[in-house]
C-alpha cells in the first residue's frame, strides 16, 4: 500500500516537472517580448511627440491671437519684431530697468516681454514642453537673469525681418532705399496673404553660454534675404543651417501665420519665400541689388 502511494506521488512529481519551461520555450518568450518592445517603444515615442506638438500648436495659437490683439490696440500697427528704444514691463507693471542683467534695452528689443501683456504675462504660453522646464529653472533663480533669458528662448521664434521689422536685419532705417522701404509688414491692413505669411515657428539655437543646443529662440532667419541663407540640407545638429527653424516633430515645424492659422509643416515646403515675405512673388525671391 505504501509502495503504491509513493509511486503515485512520484508520478505526480514527474507530471509537475514536465510542466516547467524548457530553454527553447524561454528563448521564444524572450524573443516575443523583444518584438513587442520593438513595436511599442516607437509607438510610445510617437505618442509623446504628438502630445508635445499639440501643446506647441496650442501655444502658437495663443501667441498669434496675442499678436493680433496688440495690433488692434495699436490701431493696426503690428508688434515690432526687434527694435531698441521700446518699453517692456514686468508682471507687476514696473518697466524693466535699463541696468538689468544683459541690458533692459536689449531685453525690450526682443518680442517676448512686449507680447507678454497680451498673454496675461503667462510665459508658459510661449515656453512649452522642454522649454517650460528651462523657464522653471529661470523663475527659481536670479530675477534679473530671468528677465534677460526669458526674452531669448521662447519655443517659437518670430519672422521679425519681414513681419514687424528687425533693426539688425535692415529694418527701421531712417532713409531706407526703395528696395527696403516695404521690407517688413508694418500694419495688418498691408498684409496681402494673411494665411500664408509666416509669423511664428518652432525655433532652436546654439547661441547659449555653454554652446548647448536649446529648442527655442526669439528670431527666425528666412531662407533668403540678399542671398540664400539656408543650407541645402536640414541639419538637426546645426540650428543656423535653416535659420534657427526647428523641425522637431518628425521633420515638421509648428508654424503660425498672421491670419491665425497654425499647422505643422515640412522644412522643404518652408523654403518658399512667399511664406516669409509680404513682397515675395516667387519661391526663390530675394532682395535685388
So what's the pLDDT on residue 212? 86
List the alpha helices (DSSP H) in the chain.
2-18, 23-73, 104-109, 112-115, 130-139, 143-150
Task: Give the N- to C-terminal CA distance of the chain in Å, as an integer.
Answer: 112
252-257 β-sheet, strand order:
156-158, 198-202, 252-257, 262-266
Percent of the chain with pLDDT over 90: 78
Q: Rounded to two decimals, what is the model's pTM? A: 0.85
Q: DSSP character for 80?
A: P
User: What pLDDT does residue 41 have?
Assistant: 64
The pLDDT tens digits for 250-285 are 999 999 999 999 999 999 999 999 999 999 999 999
Q: Which residue has the cell 506521488?
A: 9
| Integer Cα distance of 29 and 261 in angstroms | 49
Confirm if 154 and 110 have CB atoms less than 8 A apart. Answer: no
| Residue whose cell numbers read 516537472 | 17
Q: Is 99 left (phi over 0), alpha (psi -120 to 50) or beta?
A: alpha
Helix 130-139 × helix 143-150 angle, to 10°: 150
- The contacts of residue 122 (CB under 8 Å, 6+ apart) are 116
What are 122-181's pLDDT values in tens digits? 999 999 999 999 999 999 999 999 999 999 999 999 999 999 999 999 999 999 998 898
Q: What is the mean pLDDT of residues 224-245?
A: 95
Task: Give residue 3's pLDDT band: very low, low, confident or very high (50, 70, 90).
Answer: low
Q: Domain ranges for the chain, please list them.
A: 52-275
Amino acid at each position: 500500500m505504501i509502495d503504491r502511494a509513493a509511486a503515485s506521488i512520484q508520478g505526480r512529481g514527474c507530471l509537475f516537472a514536465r510542466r516547467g519551461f524548457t530553454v527553447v520555450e524561454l528563448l521564444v518568450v524572450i524573443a516575443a517580448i523583444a518584438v513587442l518592445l520593438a513595436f511599442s517603444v516607437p509607438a510610445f515615442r510617437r505618442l509623446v511627440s504628438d502630445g508635445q506638438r499639440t501643446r506647441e500648436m496650442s501655444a502658437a495659437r495663443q501667441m498669434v491671437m496675442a499678436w493680433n490683439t496688440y495690433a488692434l490696440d495699436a490701431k493696426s500697427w503690428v508688434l515690432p519684431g526687434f527694435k531698441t528704444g521700446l518699453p517692456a514691463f514686468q508682471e507687476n507693471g514696473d518697466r524693466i530697468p535699463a541696468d538689468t542683467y544683459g541690458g533692459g534695452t536689449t531685453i525690450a528689443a526682443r518680442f517676448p516681454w512686449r507680447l507678454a501683456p497680451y498673454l496675461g504675462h503667462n510665459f508658459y504660453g510661449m515656453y512649452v514642453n522642454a522649454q517650460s522646464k528651462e523657464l522653471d529653472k529661470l523663475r527659481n533663480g536670479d530675477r534679473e537673469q530671468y528677465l534677460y533669458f526669458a526674452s531669448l528662448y521662447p519655443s517659437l521664434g518670430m519672422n521679425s525681418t519681414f513681419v514687424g521689422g528687425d533693426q539688425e536685419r535692415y529694418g527701421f532705417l531712417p532713409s531706407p532705399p526703395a528696395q527696403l522701404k516695404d521690407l517688413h509688414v508694418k500694419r495688418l491692413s498691408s498684409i496681402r496673404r494673411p494665411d500664408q505669411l509666416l509669423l511664428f515657428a518652432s525655433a532652436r539655437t546654439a547661441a547659449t553660454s555653454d554652446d548647448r543646443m536649446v529648442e527655442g529662440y526669439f528670431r527666425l532667419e528666412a531662407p533668403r534675404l540678399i542671398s540664400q541663407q539656408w543650407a541645402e540640407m536640414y541639419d538637426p545638429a546645426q540650428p543656423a543651417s535653416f535659420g534657427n527653424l526647428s523641425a522637431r516633430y518628425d521633420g515638421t515645424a509648428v508654424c503660425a501665420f498672421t491670419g491665425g492659422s497654425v499647422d505643422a509643416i515640412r522644412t522643404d515646403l518652408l523654403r518658399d519665400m512667399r511664406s516669409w515675405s509680404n513682397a515675395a512673388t516667387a519661391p526663390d525671391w530675394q532682395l535685388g541689388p
